[in-house]
Amino acid sequence: MLEKVVVALDAMGGDHAPAEIVKGAVQAVESTDEINVILVGKEEQLKEELYSKCRYGGDAIKIENASEIIEMGDVPTSAVKSKKDSSLVVAMKLVRDGRADAVVSAGNTGAVLVGGQLVVGRLKGIKRPPLAPFVPTTEGFSLLLDCGANVDAKPEHLVQFAQMGSIYYENVMGKKNPTVGILNIGTEEEKGNQLVKDTKPLLEKCKTIHYIGSIEARDIVKGKADIIVCEAFVGNVVLKFFEGLALTLFDSLKQGLMSSLRTKIGTLLVKPALKGLKQQFDTSSQGGAPLLGLKGLVVKAHGNSTANEIEIALKQCISFKNQKINEKIKESICD
Amino acid sequence: MLEKVVVALDAMGGDHAPAEIVKGAVQAVESTDEINVILVGKEEQLKEELYSKCRYGGDAIKIENASEIIEMGDVPTSAVKSKKDSSLVVAMKLVRDGRADAVVSAGNTGAVLVGGQLVVGRLKGIKRPPLAPFVPTTEGFSLLLDCGANVDAKPEHLVQFAQMGSIYYENVMGKKNPTVGILNIGTEEEKGNQLVKDTKPLLEKCKTIHYIGSIEARDIVKGKADIIVCEAFVGNVVLKFFEGLALTLFDSLKQGLMSSLRTKIGTLLVKPALKGLKQQFDTSSQGGAPLLGLKGLVVKAHGNSTANEIEIALKQCISFKNQKINEKIKESICD
């Protein structure tokens, strides 16, 4: 195995588990030889999916049995604590015990966040691990963090988000010295809530980041900053609103376009443009969102991920390991 | 004048002031006789706009001189306090002194919020006046409040927002017993930040509203609740993100559609459908947003309002007065 990245994949988490999850694993190992996958879940079911349905015959995918499943409706903290033989917890233990480099799960978001902290554990010095998805913009992608469930953050948390986000963005997107903004309700000096007002001077003083000030919500999608820091309640609201609005607009557009023969003919002609736009603003196009600042990599894939999204999420783990992102985070923050 | 609604219009506020503001006033009084407008601003300039450019000859529009202007970049509190002869402050004084029923301004949002509280004043018992815009949904419109600049709200503020929002929605939209949700990061019982957790039991107990629980951000645009309460930082972020994303998507769509001869031809055929969609999701289609809970009506129109938006904002004041919304708020909350 040597330099390969080993990913523990929660095969039972997500709306389309286990079929699409297993299929995604097969797609990933068939398109790159830099990755090995450990499918974690009910062994018999996974064997059926992997060997019978997908007819997989290679040795880059192994199966690790786990008898329980954390459901979407389970309360995160108690589920992680009580379902010790769940696919998610077993996958995380593989990382904790050094048998895998990363976990990917499309399951219960709260449980992934809780498990990341309780089972995988935080890097020394990291106060809070943020969930950091890329969101599409007209310029490419911006990293929005924290979008997790650890609400009511403190100023020092946001500063660490900015530092970790900068390292992640620089190494994954290949852009030196990426810009950092703080999400605010105006760009003027006196604007903001108490958290933003208290955080701004700390960001200004922070020498390891390229801070450019306040970013208004209307400018997120214009790519005004590469990294945008905010408290998790706000980040989560923005992320989900983005998803909801984009989907709704495309659905409404589709309905409008199918409303008459004339528009139907026109639609045939404009289809490529529409498809391109939909892909550009698909919030799940970048695979999963990492939880930054943990001892291993934990990637949360979208709950409704199909094989393609799982494949992308698995491949994300390659550059995360190869770029030694965690080592860089440790060096720059954890002293 | 008798039953006419008298609106003091800040003629110097907004990106297209005074030309479009004055034009909007003329359009309003020419299309309804239920309204009288007092244009507030630099007299000579307004006379030029009203009589020379618009060739207005009626008596439903008067001019009130004000020598100063609060600029978009001015710091709200100090601007309201120091520029006592500004068009905004003078317009608000007309309401305070009973010479007008309402103020409409497309100027500095912060100054409108501050002026509303300092000059017009809160109704007795109202703790905080929320800015309450209608946002477009697939079902019609939802009222999102607070979207103002009064951040870091308390649970009792959000309860009043729910009560005032219900009265406003019921009377303006004509829907009995409208539903109220609280913006949250999940619908499960344990989800939320401290403010949301503390507010939920109070909303459940509140008998004057039809509370239906948590609303996730992705469901706002699906119209899952008629009234959505949240803290102002979050509300402002959602509102501006909505604006930014919708505009950006339509711009990108336009670019894509103009990219080849084929798509250009198709665009001609689908144009009506696109136009309809753009109108449906235009966040400024409902004119301005009221500040609820003040002694008179204060309406904030969008900064880039043109004559049509000003006309709509002026006409909003008619139903606000005729439906006796402030009287109803006083009865139900202010005891």
Tens digit of each residue's pLDDT (9 = 90 or more) over B24-81: 999 999 999 999 999 999 999 999 999 999 999 999 999 999 999 999 889 899 999 9
B261 touching chain A per CB within 8 A: no
Task: Confirm or reject contact between A282 and chain B (CB < 8 A).
Answer: no
Q: For chain B, say whether A118 makes contact (Cβ under 8 Å).
A: no
Per-residue pLDDT of chain A (335 residues; tens, 9 = 90+): 447 999 999 999 999 999 999 999 999 999 999 999 999 999 999 999 999 999 999 999 999 999 999 998 899 999 999 999 999 999 999 999 999 999 999 999 999 999 999 999 999 999 999 999 999 999 999 999 999 878 889 999 999 999 999 999 999 888 999 999 999 998 877 788 999 999 999 999 999 999 999 999 999 999 999 999 999 999 999 999 999 998 888 888 888 888 888 888 888 888 888 888 888 888 777 778 999 999 999 999 999 899 999 999 999 999 888 888 999 999 888 65
Identify whether the C-beta of residue B132 lies closer than 8 Å to the C-beta of residue B35.
no
* Interface subset of A 289-318, CB within 8 angstroms of B: none
Query: Alpha helix (H) ranges present in chain B?
Result: 19-31, 43-47, 76-82, 87-96, 109-115, 155-173, 194-205, 232-257, 261-280, 307-322, 325-333
Instruction: Give the list of residues 6+ apart from residue B113 with CB closer than 8 angstroms, or none.
Output: B76, B129, B131, B148, B149, B150, B291, B300
Interface test with A, best of B245, B265, B279, B304 (most A CBs within 10 A): B245
**How many Cβ pairs closer than 8 A exist between chain A and B?**
179
Burial of B313 (0-12, 13-18, 19+ CB in 10 A): buried
pLDDT digit string (tens) for B193-205? 999 999 999 999 9
- Reply yes or no on whether the pLDDT at B284 is more than 80: no
- Would you call A222 and B245 a contact, using CB atoms and an 8 Å cutoff? no
What token pair was written down for A7?
């990913």
Q: Which of A103, A93, A124 is nearest to A8 (CA)?
A: A103
Q: What percentage of chain B reaches a pLDDT higher than 90?
A: 73
| pLDDT (0 to 100) of residue A1 | 43
- Asked if A216 reaches chain B (Cβ–Cβ under 8 Å), the answer is yes
Smallest CA–CA separation between A280 and chain B, in Å? Answer: 10
- Contact B138/A at CB under 8 A: yes
**In this predicted structure, what is the pLDDT of residue B275?**
84
Given a contact cutoff of 8 angstroms between Cβ atoms, the answer to whether B160 and B126 are in contact is: yes
Q: What is the mean pLDDT of residues B208-218?
A: 95
Structure tokens at A279: 């892909």
Pairing mode, strands A227-229 and A179-184:
parallel
- DSSP letter (8 states) at residue A188: S
Considering CB atoms only, which of B221, B237, B270 is closest to A263? B270
What are the strands of the beta sheet with B5-10, ordered from one edge? B61-65, B35-41, B5-10, B102-105, B297-300, B289-291
Coil vs helix vs strand at B108: coil
Is residue B148 a contact partner of residue B112, using CB atoms and an 8 Å limit?
no
Reported as half-sphere exposure (CB side, CA atoms, 13 A), residue B226 has a value of 22
Q: What is the pLDDT of residue B16?
A: 96
For A40-93, the DSSP string reads EE-HHHHHIIIIIIS----SSEEEEE--B---TTS-HHHHHHH-TTBHHHHHHH
Cross-chain CB nearest to B273 (options A138, A219, A263) = A263
What is the distance between the alpha carbons of residues A120 and A117, in angstroms, rounded to a whole number?
Answer: 6
Whether A96 contacts A59, CB under 8 Å: no
> By the 8 A CB rule, do B220 and B228 touch?
yes
Count CB neighbours of B220 within 10 A: 26
Distance, CA of A240 to CA of B222 (rounded, Å): 12
Is the Cβ pair A193, B110 closer than 8 Å? no
SS3 letters for B215-259? EEHHHHHHCCCCEEECCHHHHHHHHHHHHHHHHHHHHHHHHHHCC
Closest CA of chain B from A77, distance in Å: 11
Query: What is the pLDDT averaged over residues B158-178?
Result: 94
Residue A33: CB atoms within 10 A of its CB come to 10
- 3-state class (DSSP) for residue A297: strand
Question: According to the model, what pLDDT value does residue B335 have?
Answer: 53
Please give the span between the terminal C-alpha atoms of chain A, in angstroms, as a whole number: 32
> How far, CA to CA in Å, does A144 sit from each of A192, A220, A289, B191?
18, 9, 10, 21
